[in-house]
Amino acid sequence: MLKKAQEAAKYIREQGIYQSDTAIILGTGLGKLADEIEVDVSIDYKNIPHFPLSTVEFHSGKLIFGTIAGKKVLVMNGRFHFYEGYSLKEVTFPVRVMKLLGVKNLLVSNAAGAINLSFPPASLMVIDDHINFLPGNPLTGKNHDEFGPRFPDMSRPYDPEFIGILEEIADKNNITLNKGVYVAWIGPSLETRAEYRFIKTMGADVVGMSTVPEVIVANHQGMRVAAVSVITDLCDPDNLKPVDINDILRNAAIAEKDLVLLFTELIKRL
């Protein structure tokens, strides 16, 4: 893994991407942040050695280096999901490469369904904690001490200072920002009513199919993380309608403006 990550990082540097403190992973329907970037370099994932290929049709699969709010950022436009068939090590490979490129902060967005029914669709939730309910952990197997310790601490996987800044920005701009726990579900099938009841008892506020593997690896490497979920649908087991992907995309699009503002202002302050 280390050698592959080094080869990928070397190729990326050769394309003119140098140090940026902050990397961003853009989730489903949240591509508008990409429009905010003054692009210096854009690389198709397929050209980067050992990078997994993006398969979900909504994702263009590009690594973009440029400026947002006066700061150099590295943006993953298109992410990898476990449900697409990638291993958790493949899903998190780009985060390993980020570390070799000198990235210190990781900002992540995703789409999630609300288990906590007080979180309305098209609103945002800053992730305060997570439950890894995927069938594995990206850190199993040999530990690479170059990246981090065998047993990384997870007492605060989402940086409390970043959460505070995001709450402050939301407050100032009249954006409703919920805060809570994200659980990563395998997918790709949506959850049954019984599963939603079960997830509620786990203590999760929202459920989605991403983010947690990348956050585990980022923490392993000592990176500071902020993550925000766009609430796309209500997961009410007593009143469950068949999910409509168009509703999900529409709600993600409505929330996009607020999310772009939150991330842009956070980047300014990093």
Mark 226-255 with x for binding to ligand HPA (rule: CB under 6 A) and - for no binding: ------xx-x------------x-------
Task: Please name the helix (run of DSSP H) or strand (run of DSSP E) that holds residue 206, with its range, or none.
Answer: strand 206-208
Task: Please name the helix (run of DSSP H) or strand (run of DSSP E) that holds residue 34, with its range, or none.
Answer: helix 32-35
Structure tokens at 196: 């939603």
Q: Are 93 and 50 in contact (CB under 8 A)?
A: yes
Question: How far is residue 18 from each of residues 7, 62, 161, 221, 268, measured CA to CA in Å?
Answer: 15, 16, 26, 19, 19
CB of 113 to ligand HPA, least distance (A): 2
111 binds ligand HPA (CB under 6 A): yes
**What whole-number distance in Å separates Cα of residue 27 and Cα of residue 206?**
15
Mark 178-217 with x for binding to ligand HPA (rule: CB under 6 A) and - for no binding: -------x-x--xx---------------xxx--------
Q: Is 112 exposed, middle or buried (0-12, 13-18, 19+ CB in 10 A)?
A: buried
Which of positions 146-185 make contact with ligand HPA (CB under 6 A)?
A: 185
132 binds ligand HPA (CB under 6 A): no
Query: Please, which residue, 86 or 185, has the CB nearer to ligand HPA?
Result: 185
Given 74, 95, 101, 112, the residue binding ligand HPA (CB under 6 A): 112
45 binds ligand HPA (CB under 6 A): no
CB of 185 to ligand HPA, least distance (A): 5
Structure tokens at 106: 């990781």
Could you tell me how many residues of this chain bind ligand HPA (CB under 6 A)?
14
CB of 143 to ligand HPA, least distance (A): 30
Structure tokens at 266: 């956070």
In the complex, the residues that contact ligand HPA under the rule CB under 6 A are 111-113, 185, 187, 190-191, 207-209, 232-233, 235, 248
